[in-house]
Amino acid sequence: MKMLDTFYINGQWVEPCPGGTFADLVDPSTETQTGKLAMGTTEDADRAVAAARAAFPAWSESSREERIALLERVIESYRARLDDIADAVRSEIGAPITLCRTLQAPIGLAQLEATVKTLRDFEFETDHGNSYVRREAIGVAALITPWNWPLNQIAAKVAPALAAGCTIVLKPSEIAPLDALIFAEIMHEAGAPPGVFNMLFGDGRVVGARLASHPDIDMVSITGSTRAGVEVAISAAPTVKRVAQELGGKSALLILDDADLQSAVTSGVAQCMVNSGQTCIAPTRMLVPRDRYEEAVSIAAAVANAVRVGDPSDPATKMGPISNRAQYDKVQRMIGIGIEEGARLVAGGPGRPSGLERGFYARPTVFADVHNDMTIAREEIFGPVLTIIPYDGEEEAIAIANRSEYGLAGYIASSDPQRARRVAARLRVGSVRINGAMLDVNLPFGGYKSSGNGRECGVEGLAEFLECKSVTG
């Protein structure tokens, strides 16, 4: 039984302030309790903010070389803990161990390395005749991260904040605290100056709300649901602090009429189901030419039915459980709504896969005969559920893709690169992947509309943590 009962504040592991509670840690593959997690209070948040505020003057004046040196030490320590991180993510959110070893853990390392690359060449000052523009650290940054790709989001926020000269208070998800604990140990081992990096556990209603409203926090960066992002923005508004949000998505895959249908559908289903569908940019709406619709439906059903669901510790498992009871219940409810709305169930459906009696396991599910006004086509399900929508002509495909409150990502399958880029230009989303291209952590990432504000990764991600000062004369 694990007991996570300390926070990392001002370079030390400290006990929580009196009055806090504990939350249960649950293994989603077995539904058994594995430990207890101390939940922070507003007083704990205040302590962390005070430490970060005290450390800000010195760290904000540190040199580029000092920041690179710290990040490189973090990279070295992180690389040494890759196996520990992978095992932590497997146990806390149920991601398959193979996925954890090849992506969940390494992507955090990739984010750190990409930030160092960006920092080496970043222009903090630019001349304009007798004037110049100076880019300075915005101040103390509160970073609120989710449970689905925990190390990616921690590293994608912590690394550029440090590179910009900000000091940090990190609040990771209470569902995925084990990997965050390791990350804090890595920061300590790397020699982060006291107060530069601070971490405490807690829920959004208490710790998250306090950080968002705190007058000594200069910026909040949150990744989470659109609902959570809105609540943070409302709490932050009275202190007029910057809020960067990477929120929900309902991304469309446009399979154009010149695409290799077998390849495009197979890839689309795989991308939808990875990480049990718990990915904000998952292509959960597949748009297919009407004259090839039934063929696409048959391919998608076969691919979904072949996904191996099971014990996340088995290297052969392709899909583990949903990460927690509340999310599992939501996925089941949404599958039921799809059936009630008249969508045709061609793979999966309610309940657990055959042979799995315990654990938050969902069935890889595919719905056909879906139109864009159905709940399952509008709302983010955050589970292994794909909707397939027919269209007549390229113009209608683009219109359907854009008819969403979200705008995080888009996907295009086409044998004509120029056509694909032309269609990409018309999608109201923050990023587009063509023909199964992988995520590039050197490029900016974020969304339009209800998918958020601001960008992570690359030059733009570093700039989010900077203020701009003009000096004339």
379 catalytic residue (yes or no): no
Contact by Cβ (8 Å): 360, 328 = yes
Q: Which two tokens stand for residue 245?
A: 């949000």
Residue with tokens 């004259």: 291
* Backbone torsions φ then ψ of 18, nearest 5 degrees: -60, 150
Burial (0-12, 13-18, 19+ Cβ within 10 Å), 69:
middle
Q: Which two tokens stand for residue 223?
A: 């990744």
- State how far the Cα of 292 lies from the Cα of 400, in Å rounded to an integer: 17
Our CA dihedral for 350, 354, 356, 361, rounded to 10 degrees, sits at -30
The DSSP bridge partners found for residue 367 are 345, 387
Given the residues 92, 113, 174, 246, select the one marked as catalytic.
Answer: 246
Element (H, E) at 3: strand 2-4
Strand pairing report for 344-347 and 365-368: antiparallel
Quick one: which of 273, 174, 166, 184 has its CA closest to 221?
166
The DSSP bridge partners found for residue 365 are 385
User: CB-side exposure of 439: number of CA atoms within 13 Å?
Assistant: 21
In degrees, to the nearest 5, what angle opens at C-alpha 358 toward C-alphas 353 and 359?
Answer: 85
- State how far the Cα of 450 lies from the Cα of 457, in Å rounded to an integer: 20
272 catalytic residue (yes or no): no
Given the residues 280, 456, 457, 464, select the one marked as catalytic.
Answer: 280
Other residues' Cβ atoms within 10 Å of the Cβ of residue 83: 11
Element (H, E) at 54: helix 42-60
For 294-307, the DSSP string reads HHHHHHHHHHHHT-
Contact by Cβ (8 Å): 178, 91 = yes
* Cβ-based neighbours of 466, under 8 Å, separated by 6 or more: 124, 135, 136, 137, 138, 164
- Longest CA–CA separation in the chain, Å: 75
Contact by Cβ (8 Å): 378, 274 = no
The DSSP bridge partners found for residue 199 are 8, 170
- The set of catalytic residues is 246, 280
